[in-house]
Structure 1
Amino acid sequence: METEDVLGTSGKELPAAKFTPVDYIIFSLMVVTSIGIGVISGIRSRSRATTQEYLLGSRTMSPVPVAFSLLGGAISAISLLGNPAEMYFFGTQLVMNLLGFIPGCLFISQVITPIFYQLKLVSITEYLQVRFESRLLRTLGTLCLLLFNFIYMGLCLYAPTLSLSIVTGLSTSTSILILGFVCTFYITIGGVKAVIYTDVLQTLILLIGMLLVVIICTTDVGGVGSVWSVAERGGRIILFDFNTSPYERHTFLSTVIFGFNAAMMHVGINQSAYQRFASVRTLQISKNLMMVFMLGYTMVHLLLYYAGLVAFASYWDCDPLTSGRIEKPDQIIPFLVINKLSHLTGVAGVFVAAVYSGVLSTLSSCGNSITCILHIVFSDITLESLISLASKLVLNEFE
């Protein structure tokens, strides 16, 4: 089937799968390399296998891979697919969230990070007990954190598999099993070091994949100027909507508040992010990491937002959603890859590897943070405490 037929008025639908053997090889290499990094990290750490080594890298990690890991953990596959779709269908007002995200990061760097780092905590929920002297409050905080991570991991794993089925032809169950097994294996073997080093690989693949798609498609539509011009004519350039109505999808005020909240959620009180900050040697390095993360997060999101405008410039006269070529808005970027770049061998494989890298990076960060939280919970449950609790229960029964 010709590319023009897929997009044109012929009514033909996109084939279910477009992956070639080369694409499968590229995708498989990403998966195998991630597993290999976990195994190597586990072997190297075996001689000094302690709790601090497994959960925090003995607090001696190099800042460069930690910076990549911070960025990779915050950029999920949902971000890769959802942000461009937001720009494509609703315009650029969401970009203004970066004006809230940047001061949020500065607040975290100067206020939150020094407190947590100097207390030498392993789990951020420990702070609740230290600050308020309440074991119950810490337990409730731990349960809330675990519940959030379980739900978030489910969303990050399930949602991209639905969107990428248009490219890979893999069923949702198959994708979930592959990613779940790979992620569980390497974080179990290598601990936080495996997570950080695989995050470096996965973040680089993520950036390369998105840059490749954006550069090629921008060239196809006539350059950056053409992309901006088409988006402007289509009413997609919206940056300063000061409407105060709560029924408006996005306004300047709501997006700025959202950006500040995103900084708190992704970094400020996030267990996986705290483990990265706590894994380096000094507080100053930790604060510098926050600044590097802020810059990287901003640049990556600008790239994702621009990708949505590129997709709009490519399909402004024939929307794939209304014409029935795709079923969900977040399939617009996978459709763009298949529709416009399927003639370039390996590009689909690189893109899918990029999105699945985002999945693995997020899952591994959350999985390692859950391990850390559960370790702190169960480390407090000793044989003596269980005997003491049992004795109290028995005495109460007799009384």
Structure 2
Amino acid sequence: MTKKVLLRKKYNDQYWRLLLSILFCLIYVNANSQGKYFGYSYLPVLPPNNGQIIQPGLAGTYTGIDDDVLIVAGGANFPDKLPWEGGIKTYYDDIFILKKKANDTVQWEIASTKMPYSAGYGGAISTIKGLLCFGGNTSNTTISNSWFIDYIPETGKVEINQGPDLPIPLTNFAFAQVDNTIYVAGGISDFGGASTSSFYRLSLEGDRANHWEILPSWDGDPRAFSVGVGQSNGLDNCFYLFSGRNIGPQGDWKVLGDAHVYNPSTKKWEIISDGADKEIKVMAGTAFPLGASTIIFPSGSDGNLAIEEMGIRKRIEHLESRLLSGDDVGTMLQLSKTKLTDLLNDHPGFGNKIYGFNTISHEFYEFDELSQTGQVTTTAVTWGRDIVVPTGEIRPGVRTPKILKIMINKDAKHLGIVDMLVIGLYFLTLAWMGYFFSKRQKSTEDYFKGGGRIPWWAAGLSIFGTALSAITFMAVPAKTFATDWSYFMLNMTIFLVAPIIVFWFIPFFRRLNVTTAYEFLESRFNLTIRLLGSLSFILFQIGRMGVVMFLPSIALNVVTGIDIYVCIFLMGVVSMIYTIYGGIEAVIWTDVVQVIVLLGGAILSLVLIVISIDGGISGILEMATANDKFNLIDLKLSLKQPTVWVMLLGGVFANITTYGSDQTMVQRYLTTKTQKEAQKSVWTNAILTIPATLIFFFAGTTLFAFFKNYPNQLNPTFENND
């Protein structure tokens, strides 16, 4: 063999060895993981309070994290007897601290410092100043005070510092942190009194950090024992308020099944459910946000047995009043008391179902279940990567000292080996195209302009494919899924720009006979201006390609389990291989393949979703219309929202910049044989934009309909809607 042939053989061997290594990396992952999203275990049980021998558990504790230790403070229980046996409710001021040890174990300690009150049923939020505890009640009064429990890691001690008082004494309220603000809703102000419609907020930064603000309340019943949680609605971080108990002035009460959301950006409440068509009963429960748009309820009472208990108690009161009047109802009274005792003793607990709520679809659904009954009148807190639900009430009058730990499994579901092979073979195909076209590179003209061999339709598909990136494929449906069609008009501005490109820019660049768009800058001005233009293009593309590479890497990471940095590296290497070896000709033909794959995949997704939903397309349209998903044109005169004016103005200038001066576009204009073919390629891109935009926007709408029909199919651990 000649030296040239040997070098070619060595080059080919290295080329395919690299590609096969990439394929092996893709397949060599845990591709068959189909586990559960949650794992469950228990931390060491809560130790006894000072002066106690055993710990029966506490309800209404002030719970949170400070300097990576779990703090459980205050709370109440019945240490001797159950309440219907004459037991007296006891409140505590002890502060328990659960510390992580060097050997990955944890250990409880009781702080020598006490809380200012023996109290419970207030709120607690972790802040930079310590765990802020606010409100609650003692054995005979409701309190408005707040205080910081500040754990000092250097000494292992606890300090108590005063915080801003609530506007009124308040207990049994819902609370949550949204961004840097704490919200408090509902509760009871007078000890043993009625529910309120209180709604307050406390900023944790700036001038407002020292006092609570009074805000307008929701449009619904007053409530106590409700659940509050902060989560995104797909656009803004909001405060969500669920369920609760409306206690009247005379002590009568009803369980609430409604839900409301307060948006700090718009400063308005919205009714999610009035409780009639869709009940969300999680009274006295706890919740935590998960992922981009999910709220998880690990506990909560539906109130059914509580309503039965209240009915029996009313009957007992009625019979006792008759007995005092001389009626012979002693037997009936005794039977009613026995029935009440049996109901309480045989209470099965507050249920073991874990529920989920999606803040975009507004669907409330059964998510999982615990092996034991859930814990109410407690607070779920995030500790590291896990969720901790300490102690709490498991049935009326009965607490548990157990500390539930929920482990979040973000790698619960991955693709199978066959799927991985398909992805690997696709990567190999793209890389092979680079190898194939590398043999046609004979000159600079071939490498940068494809030798003028590119047909107009391929150039047009390549222009379209350059604009059709992962941003289109993932971010557009995600945005439409979370919001509506407000951004639709942005893509339609291509028809305002296409004539300018076709009749002005393309003839201009073709006459110059340049290789890059920036050669003109040197001939018109000087080398410095050309280099400045080239540098600005490169910097822009670095930023854009960062997003374009990151989005599909998110998808690959989620469905394969491969580290996201490895995904970026693999895609970058494959892209560089076929680009470096094959030149613009390989790039254009791989663009053609990828356009077919992207559009085909989107269309296939639409078909699969449509056939899975009752009513098909008409059912999807009806559901989307009912949820205002087709909002298209906003005529408000505002530059802060995606109004039609913002879309038109921004779209026109963005498209002129992209199609008129971006090297990725201009280079494709120069690959066709004639100017007329280059112009046809631009019109091809413009025409394809209409169906493509409809496909990807409708994909987001159909995803909304799908996950509204099948809410438990949405991975709740996704950290963004892309």
* TM-score above 0.5: yes
Q: Distance in 1 between matches of 2:620 and 2:448?
A: 45
Q: CA deviation at 1:2?
A: 10
2:691 maps to what in 1? 299
Assess if the C-alpha contact under 8 Å between 1:35 and 1:182 holds in 2. yes
Q: Distance in 2 between matches of 1:191 and 1:43?
A: 10
2:605 maps to what in 1? 213
The 1:164–1:234 alpha-carbon spacing in structure 2 relative to 1, beyond 3 Å, is: farther
Assess if the C-alpha contact under 8 Å between 1:78 and 1:156 holds in 2. yes
Deviations for 1:45-75, whole angstroms, at most 9, x for unmatched residues?
A: 3xxx111110111223222322221111111
Q: Distance in 2 between matches of 1:21 and 1:73?
A: 30
Letter of the 2:424 partner, please give it: S
Structure 2 residue 491 is the aligned partner of structure 1 residue 98: yes
Greater fraction of residues in helix: 1
| Equivalent of residue 261 in structure 1, options 626, 636, 653 | 653
Q: Distance in 1 between matches of 2:410 and 2:548?
A: 25
Q: CA deviation at 1:166?
A: 2.0
Q: CA deviation at 1:275?
A: 1.1
Structure 2 residue 456 is the aligned partner of structure 1 residue 60: no
2:45 maps to what in 1? none
Greater fraction of residues in strand: 2
List aligned pairs for 1:134-213, cutoff 5 A: 134-213=526-605
Deviations for 1:325-384, whole angstroms, at most 9, x for unmatched residues?
A: 422121xxxxxxxxxxxxxxxxxxxxxxxxxxxxxxxxxxxxxxxxxxxxxxxxxxxxxx
Letter of the 2:473 partner, please give it: L
Q: Which ranges of structure 1 fall in alignment gaps of 5 or more residues? A: 331-399
Q: Distance in 2 between matches of 1:40 and 1:101?
A: 34
Q: Distance in 2 between matches of 1:254 and 1:178?
A: 37
The 1:44–1:311 alpha-carbon spacing in structure 2 relative to 1, beyond 3 Å, is: same
- With normalisation by structure 2, the TM-score equals 0.43
Assess if the C-alpha contact under 8 Å between 1:320 and 1:326 holds in 2. no
Q: CA deviation at 1:82?
A: 0.4
1:81 maps to what in 2? 474
Structure 2 residue 402 is the aligned partner of structure 1 residue 10: no
The 1:322–1:186 alpha-carbon spacing in structure 2 relative to 1, beyond 3 Å, is: closer
The 1:320–1:275 alpha-carbon spacing in structure 2 relative to 1, beyond 3 Å, is: farther
Aligned residue for 2:573, secondary structure, equals helix
Q: Give % identity.
A: 24
Letter of the 2:702 partner, please give it: V
Q: Distance in 2 between matches of 1:226 and 1:325?
A: 28
List aligned pairs for 1:321-340, cutoff 5 A: 324-330=716-722
Structure 2 residue 425 is the aligned partner of structure 1 residue 33: no
| Equivalent of residue 70 in structure 1, options 439, 463, 487 | 463
Letter of the 2:577 partner, please give it: F
Deviations for 1:307-333, whole angstroms, at most 9, x for unmatched residues?
A: 000011112378689993422121xxx
The 1:2–1:189 alpha-carbon spacing in structure 2 relative to 1, beyond 3 Å, is: closer
- Greater shift in the superposed pair: 256-265 or 66-75: 256-265
Q: Distance in 1 between matches of 2:468 and 2:511?
A: 27
- Greater shift in the superposed pair: 169-178 or 264-273: 264-273
The 1:24–1:245 alpha-carbon spacing in structure 2 relative to 1, beyond 3 Å, is: same
Q: CA deviation at 1:168?
A: 2.0
Q: Which ranges of structure 2 fall in alignment gaps of 5 or more residues? A: 1-33, 37-353, 357-364, 370-408
Q: Distance in 1 between matches of 2:654 and 2:606?
A: 25
The 1:73–1:323 alpha-carbon spacing in structure 2 relative to 1, beyond 3 Å, is: closer
Deviations for 1:145-176, whole angstroms, at most 9, x for unmatched residues?
A: 11111221222112321244222222112211
Q: Distance in 2 between matches of 1:9 and 1:166?
A: 23
Assess if the C-alpha contact under 8 Å between 1:101 and 1:261 holds in 2. no
Assess if the C-alpha contact under 8 Å between 1:214 and 1:310 holds in 2. yes
Q: Distance in 1 between matches of 2:479 and 2:571?
A: 26
Say how many residue pairs are matched: 324
Assess if the C-alpha contact under 8 Å between 2:557 and 2:567 holds in 1. no
Aligned residue for 1:9, secondary structure, equals strand
The 1:164–1:265 alpha-carbon spacing in structure 2 relative to 1, beyond 3 Å, is: farther
Letter of the 2:367 partner, please give it: S
The 1:212–1:317 alpha-carbon spacing in structure 2 relative to 1, beyond 3 Å, is: closer
Deviations for 1:186-238, whole angstroms, at most 9, x for unmatched residues?
A: 11111111111111111111111111111110121232222221111111111
The 1:6–1:214 alpha-carbon spacing in structure 2 relative to 1, beyond 3 Å, is: farther
Q: CA deviation at 1:280?
A: 0.6
Letter of the 1:192 partner, please give it: I
Assess if the C-alpha contact under 8 Å between 2:35 and 2:413 holds in 1. no
Assess if the C-alpha contact under 8 Å between 1:227 and 1:310 holds in 2. yes
Structure 2 residue 507 is the aligned partner of structure 1 residue 114: yes
- Greater shift in the superposed pair: 92-101 or 50-59: 92-101
Assess if the C-alpha contact under 8 Å between 2:486 and 2:643 holds in 1. yes
Structure of larger gyration radius: 2
| Equivalent of residue 440 in structure 2, options 44, 47, 50 | 44
The 1:2–1:169 alpha-carbon spacing in structure 2 relative to 1, beyond 3 Å, is: closer
2:272 maps to what in 1? none
Q: Distance in 2 between matches of 1:323 and 1:38?
A: 37
Q: Distance in 2 between matches of 1:43 and 1:163?
A: 34
Assess if the C-alpha contact under 8 Å between 2:494 and 2:655 holds in 1. yes
Assess if the C-alpha contact under 8 Å between 2:440 and 2:446 holds in 1. no
Letter of the 1:116 partner, please give it: F
Aligned residue for 1:10, secondary structure, equals strand
Assess if the C-alpha contact under 8 Å between 2:578 and 2:587 holds in 1. yes
Q: CA deviation at 1:298?
A: 2.5
The 1:320–1:104 alpha-carbon spacing in structure 2 relative to 1, beyond 3 Å, is: farther
Q: CA deviation at 1:128?
A: 2.0
Aligned residue for 2:635, secondary structure, equals coil
Assess if the C-alpha contact under 8 Å between 1:101 and 1:256 holds in 2. no
RMSD (CA atoms)? 2.5
The 1:31–1:168 alpha-carbon spacing in structure 2 relative to 1, beyond 3 Å, is: same
Letter of the 1:68 partner, please give it: L
User: Which has the bigger relative contact order, CA under 8 A and spacing at least 6?
Assistant: 1
Q: Distance in 1 between matches of 2:431 and 2:425?
A: 10
Aligned residue for 1:235, secondary structure, equals coil
Q: Distance in 2 between matches of 1:322 and 1:32?
A: 31
Assess if the C-alpha contact under 8 Å between 1:88 and 1:308 holds in 2. yes
Q: CA deviation at 1:15?
A: 4.4
1:354 maps to what in 2? none
